[in-house]
Amino acid sequence: MAVLNATLDVVMSESTFNSVLVVFLSCLFASIFGISSAWIVTFSNIPFKKWIQWLLIMPLAIPPYVMAYVSKGFFDPFGTLDQWTGIHLDISNIVVLSLLISLVLYPYVYTPLRASLAQQSASLIEAAKIAGYRSQWKMMRLILPMHRTALVGGLLLVGLESLNEYGAPAYFGVKTYTTEIIRYWDPMNLQYSVSHALVALIFVGLLLYLESRTRLKSHTSDKLGRKVQDMEASMKSSLGFAVCITLLAIAFAAPVLQMLFWSGKNLGLFFESSFLMTTGYTFMLALSSGLILLLTSVLLSYFIYMFKNYSLAKLSFIANLGYAIPGAIIGIGVLIPIAWLNESTDILLTGTAGLLIGAYCMRYQSVAFNTVEGTLKKIPVSQLEASLSLGRSRIGSLRSVILPQMKPALMGALLLVFVDITKELPLTMLFQRFNQETLAVKAFIMMDTDGAFYKASVPSLAIVFLGVLSIIALRYLDSKDE
């Protein structure tokens, strides 16, 4: 009853208002950045197009809380802007927060939309041109609805990620579901934590429902014929170039340069034993979770591949929900059974590395699984059948035929999960061991500690660096795939 009452209170609370507004504004801004950049690189002939095309993914390497931190350091009193011009701005409000989140999350919209636009039939564009569609605006209104599935899919990710975000709103003092779940995370107040999680879960369900409703049931893309990607982009656009460059400068180059500048003054920190310990601990957590996820993903997807088993495919769908559910809610989901175990067995399980790894595995199962399964699907079943008919067992076939062909994808999946875990904040905040911090937690705590503000750029930069590395590596694997 207490939980129900608390839940009803949460529905009408400030955190509901803030969470909805953050999700809405982040999606709005991200669609402006994502659509315009995808449109420009697809349809206009800008200089360095090949480079810009994939540099536009880079902001994804910066976690929102790092973006919030850098911006504060820039605009706050005594910040960089103040030093240059004597002007400082208070940016700790919900609109700027959403803007900053969308600046690093818009690649979720940009990437699928660009891929989808590239596959658009060229003759349709040409037909529209013949029919007199001259302005870009009119053309957009004609073409974009056909790519609704990619667009909405990307926006869903932006929405879920901004709902999941802990660091940035906490840093800006904006109360959201995620910040409240973590704030009440203690035995005395746990019911508030749980009730926030319940409401947030309903919100997630609503987002998923909206996405499934707007998804196109079928899309009539003719497999034959020329695609937009084969078309010569005729329109030279210096405005388009300026838009892309500005976006890249604000969302990636400026924050990275700013952090490089700050950490340049704190180089010694890189070699301090505590920093090395933190890095080591983070690597251990991320690597062991990554390996576990790889193993479970390989086994699950291999079972589906072998038997084309529908009920298992359903199971994978459930496992995959993890990514849709914000980390803080997963934390509650993990905590409740553990708390029950604690009561009955009296073993203190909370706050162990094992528990944290388990929670990571729940949340990132889908990231690993989708990468692994996506690649496995491309291997013709005849490969397995040939191996079986040549006398190998199913496990033997996995080892000697299937896995060797999946090496790049396995590396890719490991890398993706590794980087996601390295920058993960809410789950880590819930289950971290006393005095053992990950890079993300360390960065987050230092940002908020007087005297350590600029030093926080060191772990932050380490996280961003890993993110950039993973994007480059995946890009390389992708090009090899082609």
Partner 1 sequence: MSSTLEIQEVCKSFTKGTEVLSSASLTLRENEIGVLIGPSGSGKSTLLRSIAGLEIPDSGSISIAGKCVNDARTYLEPSDRQVGFLFQDFALFPHLTVEQNIRFGLHGVDKRVASDRVQKYMQLCSISELKSRYPHQISGGQQQRVALARALATEPVMLLLDEPFSNVDENLKAQIRTDMVELIRASKTTALIVVHDIEDAYAIADKISVLIEGRVAQSASPEELYSSPASSGVASVTGEVNLLSAKASSFGFTCAIGELDQPHDLEAGQGATLVIRPEDLNLEKEGDWTVEEMRYSGIGYLVKCINNLERVSVFVSAAELPAVNDRVGFKVHRMHWIVND
DSSP result, 287-328: HHHHHHHHHHHHHHHHHHHHH--HHHHHHHHHHHHHHHS-HH
CA angle centred on 227, ends 221 and 231, rounded to 5°: 155
Q: How far is the CB of 43 from partner 1 (least distance, A)?
A: 35
Amino acid at 106: Y
> Closer to partner 1 at the Cβ: 319 or 379?
379
Q: How far is the CB of 76 from partner 1 (least distance, A)?
A: 55
User: How far does Cα 3 stand from its chain's mean position?
Assistant: 31
C-alpha–C-alpha distance, residues 186 and 184, integer Å: 6
For position 448 contacting partner 1 by CB under 8 A, the verdict is no
Six-digit token string for 315: 């199971």
Alpha carbon of 306 to those of 116, 413, 435: distances in Å? 30, 21, 45
Six-digit token string for 165: 């975000």
Q: How far is the CB of 481 from partner 1 (least distance, A)?
A: 12
Subset of 398-417 contacting partner 1 (CB under 8 A): 400-401, 404-405
For position 391 contacting partner 1 by CB under 8 A, the verdict is yes
372, 413 in Cβ contact below 8 A? yes
> Closer to partner 1 at the Cβ: 132 or 380?
380
> Closer to partner 1 at the Cβ: 187 or 404?
404
**Please, which residues have CB within 8 angstroms of residue 396's CB and are 6 or more apart in sequence?**
387
| Contact window for partner 1 (CB under 8 A) among 99-107, 112-120, 163-171, 395-403 | 395-403
| Contact window for partner 1 (CB under 8 A) among 21-29, 288-296, 349-357, 393-401 | 393-401
Alpha carbon of 1 to those of 6, 15, 54, 195, 203: distances in Å? 8, 21, 52, 11, 21
Give the relative orientation of helices 94-105 and 64-75 as an angle to the nearest 10 degrees: 130
Q: How many CA atoms within 13 Å lie on the side-chain side of 288?
A: 12
Six-digit token string for 377: 């699907």
30, 109 in Cβ contact below 8 A? yes
289, 354 in Cβ contact below 8 A? no
For position 451 contacting partner 1 by CB under 8 A, the verdict is no
Amino acid at 167: G
91, 103 in Cβ contact below 8 A? no
Mask 362-381, x = binds partner 1 (CB under 8 A)?
A: ------------------x-
> Closer to partner 1 at the Cβ: 189 or 393?
393
For position 387 contacting partner 1 by CB under 8 A, the verdict is yes
> Closer to partner 1 at the Cβ: 243 or 402?
402
> Closer to partner 1 at the Cβ: 20 or 401?
401
For position 392 contacting partner 1 by CB under 8 A, the verdict is yes
For position 383 contacting partner 1 by CB under 8 A, the verdict is yes
Q: How far is the CB of 296 from partner 1 (least distance, A)?
A: 24
360, 418 in Cβ contact below 8 A? no
| Contact window for partner 1 (CB under 8 A) among 6-14, 109-117, 198-206, 388-396 | 388-396
> Closer to partner 1 at the Cβ: 287 or 388?
388
**Please, which residues have CB within 8 angstroms of residue 465's CB and are 6 or more apart in sequence?**
none
| Contact window for partner 1 (CB under 8 A) among 59-67, 231-239, 253-261, 389-397 | 389-397
Subset of 45-84 contacting partner 1 (CB under 8 A): none
> Closer to partner 1 at the Cβ: 220 or 382?
382
In the list 189, 352, 393, 449, the residue contacting partner 1 (rule: CB under 8 A) is: 393
In the list 131, 267, 390, 395, the residue contacting partner 1 (rule: CB under 8 A) is: 390
Binding site residues, partner 1, CB under 8 A: 380, 382-383, 385-393, 396, 400-401, 404-405
